[in-house]
Amino acid sequence: SQSYGGFLLALIGWFAMRNAKFYRRIIDLEEALIKIKSVEAMTRDFRVVDANLTLSQFSDKYFLKSSKFSIYFAASEGRYLGLVSSDAIDFIDRSYWDTQTLRMIICPLNQIVTVSEKASLVEVINSMEFHQQKHITVLSPAGAVAGIIDRGDIVRAINKYLKLNISEAEIKRIKTEGCYPPGMKLAAIAKATYLSNLK
């Protein structure tokens, strides 16, 4: 009947419109991931500590205190040596804490997952997913630590670029949980973007 035909056309139109909106959103996200560089998304939410501190000194001064920092890099004589593996402290007998320094639990910069300041978010996301990292370290051209990026920082940068209206509370939740919002398939989009550029 005519009314059924009209309904069907309306339904097809509705699906087409929804698909067009969905496709547009994917295109927008893809563009954001390509255009935004790591230097624009990174934060300085880390602390630089003296590599010569004993484990006791580090624990008393930073680790046991409630600190907004959970990521520490060790440096000596103005040079970054690496990432302090805070979890490793628990595996060292306390009788050694007064004599062993942070050098014992440093993961050298050349052994951690890093990206350059010019890396796109496509590279950042793919690297984080492949290596299953909660955050990634951004290095300056001189090889120093320029910043760090986690999933919350990525969403914040996209939010600003696309003017999406994602609240800071939501971004904090993403940072805590280490997961992208359910409707934001950023890992899949970044992977697809990378693969399409290989062709």
Write the pLDDT tens digit of every residue in 79-104: 999 999 878 888 899 999 999 999 99
pLDDT one-digit tens code per residue, 106-121: 999 999 999 999 999 9
pLDDT one-digit tens code per residue, 26-75: 889 999 999 999 999 999 999 999 999 999 999 888 876 656 568 999 99
Say if CB 174 and CB 152 are below 8 A apart.
yes
CA distances from 25 to 118, 151, 164, 182, 191 (A): 25, 19, 11, 14, 16
pLDDT for residue 122: 97
Pairing between strand 72-76 and 47-50?
A: parallel
Domain ranges in the chain?
27-42+117-199, 46-112
Could you tell me which residues come within 8 angstroms of residue 45 by beta carbon, excluding any fewer than 6 positions away?
68, 69, 71, 148
- Within 13 Å of residue 20, how many CA atoms lie on the same side as its CB? 6
Strand order across the beta sheet in which 114-116 lies: 114-116, 135-139, 145-150
